[in-house]
Chain A
Amino acid sequence: MGEFLMKKVVLTALIMFIIVSGCYTDEFNIDKNMVFVEGGEFLLGKEGRTSHLVRVKLDDYYISKYETTVEQWELFLQETKTVFEWKSKYTDKRKKSPFPDSSIGVSWKLTIEYSNWVSRKYGLEECYIINGDDIEWIRDADGYRLLTDAEWEFAARGGNNFMGYEYSGSNDLDEVSWNGWNSDNHTHPVGMKKPNELGLYDMSGNISEWCWDLSLEYQNDFSILLINPAGPSLEDYLKVKDKQYRIARGGAYGTSDEFPLTPYHRAGAYEFGTGSGQGIRLARNASN
């Protein structure tokens, strides 16, 4: 009986170890979850729906299938000793969404630090030089980074596999997104809905995704071909705006307006805010 009990304990411990170690490695499958996006030329914006319609040409790049999750974020916090206030004064997203594989909302600045940390984890060159609030993007670095606004839209539309859907991957919003009508006002585990043409999940809804670009309208000039655009420089931006807003795309769990959940809508969120509704989807250059 004692031997049987011992075997049972050992077996249970072994199963627990496998589960726990399995969870741990799942946390860090970021590199395995990157999807190749073949570059191309496309019209950014949608006629009649956006104030801009611009010609854009993009190089190839990689994009994460999923939004960054709570458990990935926790690992980043532990390893970097980054101070992060989980409990906002108004809402507690962890409490509202207890699933560790839910997407997480964070500030823009912390997305930059997170991207650099993931690059270090994989032994890659960091994409960002951080000097206080000044962030410089090393564009040919091979590490992890945020998407540009144009890369985000191209990928959300399915890249060169674009099928013309209204939302990212479907004309049925409920099929592809967690939004203000079906989310119970909290984020959900990533990858639960139908993916888009490129196999990307949650490009519409769940959490709005920070991009690199400062939030400014495109110059609406059809004669110009923008090659790998990345938004205005901070210096140019501050000539016309007094507060720094960065592009955030795709809408979130609380979005109850249809257009912001499409691949075409550009929103600008306050760069120095807590980013309660804005999260991360990582990208990488495809070649150097």
Chain B
Amino acid sequence: MIGRSIPEWVAGWRRIFYYGTVPVNFYQLKDPTISLDMIGDAITNANIEGYVLDDGTVELYDDYLNLLGQEFNSSQYLSQGTDYNNLQDYLNSDYTMADYAIYGTGDNEHHALYRNNYDLIDPYRFQLSWSVIDSYRYRGLEWVNF
């Protein structure tokens, strides 16, 4: 699905080179060192523990985060209590579809991710490194519907 509502320009970047819709995993958005395999194992174990219910919601949220922290070996997940409200909002689906856009001037590129059309996913808030953002470009190219 093409994200037709992506802004055609953002400040300083006048031309859109590419846009598409990519799957974004919010565990990785929180901690880019987490691999897809680690996420898969964590979700499986969370299911086995009974934390993830059949509608995809999480009942025991603290225990669930503790499990993620240990599976991911991630201090960000283990240190609970801060900045998880956003993550909790997204727990209904492990993946969310995000619109991805590359803006450019010809010499430079600017990559951006959006949810719900204009809702920009701020890489700094999610502590994304630029190399991870860049990887979305390639993932996006694989998933895009031309």
A residues at B contact (CB < 8 Å): 88-91, 105, 180, 185, 208, 215, 241, 243, 245, 248, 251-256, 260, 267-270, 272-278
Contact = CB atoms under 8 A, between A and B. Distances in A.
Contact of B50 (A180, A256, A275): A275
Contacts of B107: none
A254 B63 contact: yes
Contact of B54 (A215, A274, A275): A215
B61 A254 contact: yes
Closest 3 pairs between A and B when the two form their complex, measured CB to CB: A268-B54, A254-B60, A245-B54
B48 interface: yes
Interface string B48-63: 1111111101011111
A276 B53 contact: no
Contact of B60 (A89, A252, A270, A273): A252
Chain B, interface size: which category? 10 to 19
Given A273-B49, A273-B50, A91 B61 contact: no
Nearest to B70: A90
Interface in B23-66: 45, 47-55, 57, 59-63, 66
A135 to B, nearest CB: 18
B49 A254 contact: no
Contacts of A185: 62-63
A276 B49 CA distance: 6
Contacts of B53: 245, 248, 267-269
Given A267-B53, A268-B55, A276 B61 contact: no
A91 B47 contact: no
24 contacts: A90-B45, A90-B49, A91-B63, A91-B66, A180-B62, A185-B62, A208-B59, A245-B53, A245-B54, A252-B59, A255-B59, A256-B61, A267-B57, A268-B53, A268-B54, A270-B50, A273-B48, A274-B49, A275-B50, A276-B49, A276-B63, A277-B49, A277-B51, A277-B63
B61 A180 contact: yes
A270 B48 contact: yes
A177 B54 CA distance: 23
Contacts of A255: 59-60
Nearest to A210: B50
Given A90-B70, A252-B60, A267-B59, 6 more contacts: A90-B49, A248-B53, A268-B54, A270-B47, A276-B51, A277-B63
Contacts of B60: 252-255, 276-277
B67 interface: yes
